[in-house]
Amino acid sequence: MIYICPQYYDMFSGDHIFDELMSIKGKVYRDQNGRKTLRFERNNQSFFIKVHTGVGWREIIKNLVQFRLPVLGAGNEWRAIRRLDELGIDTMKLVAYGSRGINPAQLQSFVITEDLGDAESLEDFCRDWPKSPPPVTLKRQLLDKVALTARQLHENGINHRDLYICHFLLNVTESARWQEGSMDPDMLKLYLIDLHRVQCRDQTPRRWKIKDVAGLYFSSMDIGLSKRDLFRFMKIYRNKSLRQTLHDDAAFWNGVNDRAMRWYVSAFERQPAIVLPEA
């Protein structure tokens, strides 16, 4: 099975296109566990492709023993991109998807997306904030977008499973224009990426909401956020006043705080600079 977006059909058509794309050459960004991510060019345009060559039975059994559904190929990311696009959440632009095989351990598949261009992860963009704080309006704009994205995901039955700030890409050119005052703040784009483990359901289970939000909190503990920033996130994510969410969602926020703290101490063997007060 091969799906190609209409505007790219001429560029990615041919009798042997599946084999060609599975073995395409380019700049490799990741190559492990039966999954390779690389950037390549065609017709003077740049694209990213994720190639899956099969996870093997050992990986499948390991996931099942841990009561986790294994990710067998690129189909999960393909469906996630389409779902986020339906919801109006900025993410990668789908170009093509292909899958071949019956054996789940040896399933071959790929997904191609447009290169997002001059983009930088939010982790890298915010790295120097403790020493060089950004304009308050810019920080709030980015924080609001992250909180709204998390809320929109969870309200629509979606959880990311790897929701860290490194998986938000900011268009650097747009950011520079925004800071110069030549651009509407609402046009600032934050693209959510790395969707291969996304889960879609009718409703998002509470434990997966906690994991996602804890991932955001854990990955932003060292970028110079204040408690006021954390409270702002809480209000936007829950769409409530601070007083309401501290009262109504105390168990949720304590769960987020506990998990993020465990991750941080395990990773860095020290306490973070900022700690969310117990709800």
3-state SS of the chain is CEEECHHHCCCCCCCCHHHHHHCCCCEEEEEECCEEEEEEEECCEEEEEEEECCCHHHHHHHHHHCCCCCCCCCHHHHHHHHHHHHHCCCECCEEEEEEECCCHHHCEEEEEEECCCCEEEHHHHCCCCCCCCCCHHHHHHHHHHHHHHHHHHHHCCEECCCCCHHHEEEEHHHHHHHHHCCCCHHHCCEEECCCCCCEECCCCCHHHHHHHHHHHHHHCCCCCCCHHHHHHHHHHHHCCCHHHHHHHCHHHHHHHHHHHHHHHHHHHCCCCCCCCCCC
Q: Do domains 2-114 and 119-268 have the same CATH topology?
A: no
Q: Tokens 């599946």 appear where?
A: 18
Nearest to 119 by CA among 173, 54, 66: 173
Query: Two tokens at 2?
Result: 């091969």
- Output the pLDDT for position 129: 94
> Contact 210/256 with Cβ under 8 angstroms?
yes
Higher-confidence position of 274 and 48: 48
> Contact 191/89 with Cβ under 8 angstroms?
no
Higher-confidence position of 173 and 210: 210
- Output the pLDDT for position 167: 97
Residue 119, pLDDT above cutoff 80: yes
- pLDDT range class, residue 55, cuts 50, 70, 90: confident
Query: Two tokens at 117?
Result: 């261009």
173: number of Cβ within 10 Å = 13
- The CATH number assigned to the domain with range 2-114 reads 3.30.200
Fold exhibited by the domain 119-268: Transferase(Phosphotransferase); domain 1 (1.10.510)
- Output the pLDDT for position 13: 83
Taking the domains of the chain in order of start, what are their residue ranges?
2-114, 119-268
Residue 69, pLDDT above cutoff 90: no
**First CA to last CA distance, the chain:** 50
Q: Given the DSSP bridges, would you call strands 35-42 and 27-32 parallel, antiparallel or unpaired?
A: antiparallel
Phi and psi of 255, rounded to 5°?
Answer: -65, -40
Contacts of 265 (CB under 8 A, 6+ apart): 271
pLDDT tens sequence across 165-179:
999 999 877 666 666
Share of the chain above pLDDT 90, in %: 71
Mean pLDDT of 254-270: 95
- Taken in order 213, 214, 220, 226, the sign of the CA dihedral is positive
Residue 182, pLDDT above cutoff 80: no
Annotated catalytic residues are 162
- pLDDT range class, residue 57, cuts 50, 70, 90: confident
Mean pLDDT of 127-156: 94
